[in-house]
């Protein structure tokens, strides 16, 4: 059984990174892997399926994504007008600071997906070249990835963790809020500094408005009604898949992972840079773990989730809509993620 689960885990870690079609259809792939894991471990049962479909968070987060997506679809034009109005009256550094701070903090209520869609529209309208927008997008996605984990409706990772631990709505805010909220502020400050430097550089180089407009022309288009519903369905299947994975990998976790020191768990989760961090959360988090272990797992997952495109849902959405390539993202995300992981490691275990 353990060998079978290790094979399934290896497939989950390798195939999405190696094959683009799988990466683009991650929800369906993980659903198949979740079913395979529960079959191998013998945990697939009517009771498990009832537990999954009786979880109100499954429907709550799906509904939130659908409703917010419909509202967002009819508000895109107003968002673009707002960006033009605001950037003419507020210094670009202040605008970017507020953008990252607000999206990072409210993503736990409007979901990371909607926060990422808003981010994409606003970043696209900013007076920067593509390479400069990549920097702002990566920094912003780190903030959204952190902030969205504060409530169980923010992102699949938080939904799965709260469900697995049978915790209340404010549980995650209580145990990691002290680490997450300062992190969002730091990302907002970093984004503001970077925006100011880029704006100054563009002025010195006499980069005109037509330059950045032409470079990004046609990157975004109005999302179809079908896309809004398909995204909601994918989220529904994604959460089911993660529940199945969590149940399927329990024997492996209880045998090998649950006894590892918190420091080891923290660094092991750097692997979530390659795969959406919610998948690893589903496999790792257990009610039998100590608070320190859970904090180490969550912070390791949240921080490393921003390092590469597959690591988090906001990354996937932003990169896809803005045409950001994996190498472009990694150039910014990897060093930033490693610095954050090192700083938080010291804070978590030595302060």
- What pLDDT, on a 0 to 100 scale, did the predictor assign at position 214? 44
For 251-260, how does the pLDDT look when each residue is reduced to its tens digit (9 = 90+)?
877 777 777 7
- Environment class of residue 81 by beta-carbon count within 10 Å: exposed (0-12), middle (13-18) or buried (19+)? exposed
Rounded Cα distance between 59 and 235, Å, is 10
Rounded Cα distance between 116 and 122, Å, is 10
CB 142 within 8 A of CB 306: yes
- What pLDDT, on a 0 to 100 scale, did the predictor assign at position 231? 78
The answer to whether the Cα torsion of 179, 182, 186, 187 is positive or negative is positive
- Environment class of residue 56 by beta-carbon count within 10 Å: exposed (0-12), middle (13-18) or buried (19+)? exposed
pLDDT along the chain (351 residues), means of 10: 85 78 80 91 90 82 78 72 82 95 94 87 87 95 96 87 88 96 97 93 68 48 74 84 81 75 86 67 80 91 88 83 84 95 94 82
CB 317 within 8 A of CB 116: yes
- What pLDDT, on a 0 to 100 scale, did the predictor assign at position 193? 96
* Residue of 99, 107, 183, 181 whose CA lies nearest to 133: 99
Rounded Cα distance between 38 and 284, Å, is 15
Q: Which helix (H) or strand (E) holds 36?
A: helix 26-41
Report CA-CA distances (Å) from 45 to 3, 39, 52.
Answer: 21, 9, 11
Rounded Cα distance between 14 and 313, Å, is 18
- What pLDDT, on a 0 to 100 scale, did the predictor assign at position 208? 52
Phi, psi of 155 (to 5 degrees): -160, 160
Rounded Cα distance between 10 and 32, Å, is 14
Rounded Cα distance between 67 and 41, Å, is 37
- What pLDDT, on a 0 to 100 scale, did the predictor assign at position 274? 63
Rounded Cα distance between 60 and 58, Å, is 6
Q: Where along the chain do its domains lie?
A: 2-350
Please report, rounded to a whole number, the percentage of residues in the chain having pLDDT higher than 70. Answer: 91
Quick one: residue 75, left, alpha or beta (phi over 0 = left, psi -120 to 50 = alpha)?
A: alpha
- What pLDDT, on a 0 to 100 scale, did the predictor assign at position 279? 67
């Amino acid at each position: 059984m353990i060998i079978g689960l290790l094979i399934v885990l290896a497939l989950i870690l390798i195939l999405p990174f190696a094959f683009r079609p799988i990466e683009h259809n991650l929800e369906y792939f993980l659903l198949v892997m979740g079913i395979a894991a529960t079959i191998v471990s013998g945990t697939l049962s009517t009771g498990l399926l009832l537990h999954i479909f009786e979880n109100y968070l499954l429907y709550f987060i799906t509904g939130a994504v659908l409703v917010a997506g419909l509202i967002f679809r009819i508000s895109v034009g107003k968002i673009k007008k707002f960006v033009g109005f605001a950037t003419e009256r507020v210094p670009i550094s202040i605008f970017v600071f507020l953008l990252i701070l607000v999206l990072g903090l409210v993503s736990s209520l409007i979901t990371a997906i909607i926060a990422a869609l808003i981010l994409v529209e606003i970043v696209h309208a900013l007076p920067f070249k593509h390479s400069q927008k990549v920097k702002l997008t990566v920094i912003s996605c780190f903030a959204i990835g952190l902030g969205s984990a504060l409530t169980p409706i923010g992102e699949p990772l938080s939904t799965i963790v709260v469900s697995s631990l049978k915790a209340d709505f404010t549980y995650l805010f209580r145990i990691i809020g002290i680490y997450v909220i300062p992190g969002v502020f730091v990302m907002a400050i970093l984004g503001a500094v970077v925006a100011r430097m880029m704006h100054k550089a563009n002025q010195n180089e006499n980069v005109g408005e037509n330059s950045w407009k032409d470079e990004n022309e046609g990157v975004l288009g109005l999302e179809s009604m079908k896309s809004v519903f398909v995204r909601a369905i994918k989220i529904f299947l994604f959460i089911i898949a993660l529940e199945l994975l969590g149940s399927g990998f329990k024997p492996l976790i209880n045998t090998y992972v649950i006894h590892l020191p918190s420091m080891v768990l923290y660094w092991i989760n750097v692997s979530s840079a390659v795969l959406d961090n919610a998948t690893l959360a589903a496999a790792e988090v257990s009610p039998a773990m100590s608070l320190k272990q859970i904090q180490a797992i969550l912070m390791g997952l949240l921080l490393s989730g921003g390092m590469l495109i597959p690591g988090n849902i906001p990354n996937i959405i932003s990169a896809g809509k803005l045409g950001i390539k994996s190498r472009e993202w990694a150039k910014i995300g990897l060093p930033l993620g490693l610095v954050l992981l090192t700083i938080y490691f010291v804070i978590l275990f030595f302060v």
